[in-house]
Amino acid sequence: MTADEKLSLARFLDLATDAIRYGYRSEEREYQFSDDPAQAAVLPATTAPTAAQPAAPPFPDGDSLEQIAAEVRACTACSLCETRTNAAPGEGAQQPLVMVIGEGPGADEDAAGRPFVGKAGQLLDKMLASIELSRNSNSFIANVVKCRPPNNRDPLPEETAACIPFLERQIQILKPQFILCAGRIAAQTLLKTGEPVGKLRGTFKTLRIGDRDIPLLVTYHPSALLRNEEFKRPAWEDLKTLRAAIADQAAIADQAAIADISAPGEN
């Protein structure tokens, strides 16, 4: 292989990696290649095989919420960048008990560059407050797609595919104890299913992100509650289910702490 052929291949692999990992083209890397010899030397049969190289980490080293937010605001990986006013990366507590994940920004969110700030967002804040949760103290709020789909249509598969790595990186960094999926798009995307919310809600599912299994609960999107009051009762039941799970986890932690301070030989 010639040096030019090697350089072309390296450039292609860099472009593919940037598109999958970051959603945009990063700074071009420098390489120094040389032409292969005319005839490759034949290795003797006793030569040990080359050790496999470790896989590249799934996310960039030193990743942070600030870095992700900057990438989201600069992202041009799908056509939503052409119609957005502001992207809405997400906001909330840095060590959240619960991460709330919705579908995508609406008109108010597109104008503000923040998730869930319109009427549905105000209702979401009240719903969270009813079980002692808040984006100001113990919750983080984000969406599957970070830019508003035109006319609030459902995100297209290619738009979701381009944006979901940002969300997965956020989950990796935040390490929430629970995830609350608000609505059909968020639930179906994260659980990789076509089941409706009515069949997905009510019981915890498990979401595997990295090396962690996170309990995930599905409920109706606040905008659905604003359109149809019949969803309010089941949504409240979902919130009570989440509240009970949080209380159970706290009780287990308390018991573990008591066991630690009362262990024999520690007096």
At residue 153, the 3 state secondary structure works out as coil
Q: Is beta strand 178-182 parallel, antiparallel or unpaired with respect to 98-102? A: parallel
Alpha helices in 81-149 (DSSP H): 107-112, 119-129
| CA distances for 57 relative to 53, 54, 160, 162, angstroms | 12, 9, 22, 19
DSSP string, 45-83: TTPPPPPPPPPPPSS-TT--HHHHHHHHHH--SSGGGGT
Q: Rounded CA gap, 76 and 72, in Å?
A: 9
Cβ pair 71, 24 in contact under 8 A: yes
Q: Rounded CA gap, 21 and 56, in Å?
A: 11
The pLDDT assigned to 28 comes to 55
Task: Look at residues 151, 175, 149 and name the one whose alpha carbon lies nearest to residue 162.
Answer: 149
Q: What is the pLDDT along the chain (267 residues), one digit of tens a residue?
A: 665 655 555 565 555 555 555 454 555 555 555 665 543 333 333 333 333 333 334 555 689 999 999 999 999 999 999 999 999 999 999 999 999 999 999 999 999 999 999 999 999 999 999 999 999 999 999 999 999 999 999 999 999 999 999 999 999 999 999 999 999 999 999 999 999 999 999 999 999 999 999 999 999 999 999 999 999 999 999 999 999 999 999 888 777 777 777 666 554
Q: Rounded CA gap, 239 and 259, in Å?
A: 30
The model carries a pTM of: 0.75
Burial class (CB in 10 A: 0-12, 13-18, 19+), 87: buried
The pLDDT assigned to 6 comes to 56
The pLDDT assigned to 54 comes to 36
